[in-house]
A and B are shown apart, each in its own frame.
Chain A
């Protein structure tokens, strides 16, 4: 039925099978859209957030997907700026993942902030001293860059290529990709950092507050490095997952190995910096604010196990696996370590968002608990469904993995 839209030389499932695959995701997306409508039309009382627990599942989702979506900027940086040509095998996929993550985050942020018709206020009335302004500006600019980078992938479709204007535009867009990759790297550095800096400047939350390095708190740099570590792992993991689902080899094993190596090195740097930062915080920053650090871990729900899991189990362990050439060569180790890396970064963002807000800071404060409402969960799942839909459609109708044809019969 849609065979004339499928790239030549690639094998795809029948249209019926494809419909069966996307229908449940479309239904999930529909439920999420309804939940978003409720929140936008009636207000945030549909959520379980309140004035004291103002950052919930959605902000956690935003931070997580933006960290995982960093594969787009970091892969682009390695390919176009550092000329690591082997990454051309996954750059399209990384861009699509980035676009999904960032657009999903922006949509959820719009629902969270509310009043989407006034979204332009943040550009018209910028508070140049706010980390959030930097995040907003960089995020929207980078989303624009990702949309432009996505355009040639869509224009690769064989039917669209029949149109000379599209063909010529695609041809020329490829030439400006290094410029866009450079801009993307610049923007990503700042918004990833500012998202971290957002927590580091919270003087009223000593659990998150950090000393400044230059004009930024240490969390600024930790978020940049951790995103650069998680991004390649997420690209690696999704590519492997797509291979498993489609039962096709899409990229050569060397590409997986290289992504794993890059992720491992960045993760090792991150774990070192995080360990130093934690030690400084335990011994200096937190006591100076009047809070012995281990008081934060007195509750079993957020005990010291969470710190150990974040830094050692899901940080140091996968980093050592990924930097070891011998272990990296074994797929089970490689993919497990990539999964652990992503889980580690997800846990870090959870700790920074949820644990920070849950812990009491004033004498009359109590430990706050929060469980998201169904509308929050549905919106969260809608982003996941949206991602699967966009990725599935792009995979079916464009050449997402240039090596796929070469590897078809292997």
Chain B
């Protein structure tokens, strides 16, 4: 369990952020809505459905990945 003084510091930091977000002005709220939409598009839609990591998706070990790239670098010479 954290000490009382540590709890107090953590609580102050927590309140600092919570109060900051609660007091956001209209433009601040609009910006946060855009940020959340953008992050959803980037990390959920784009990353999951359109931009998987090719080597991580298709190969399980670094050795396999090295072999694949080495093959590409030397193929059809």
Are A and B subunits of one complex?
no
Interface residues in chain A, defined as those with a beta carbon under 8 Å from any beta carbon in chain B: none
Interface residues in chain B, defined as those with a beta carbon under 8 Å from any beta carbon in chain A: none
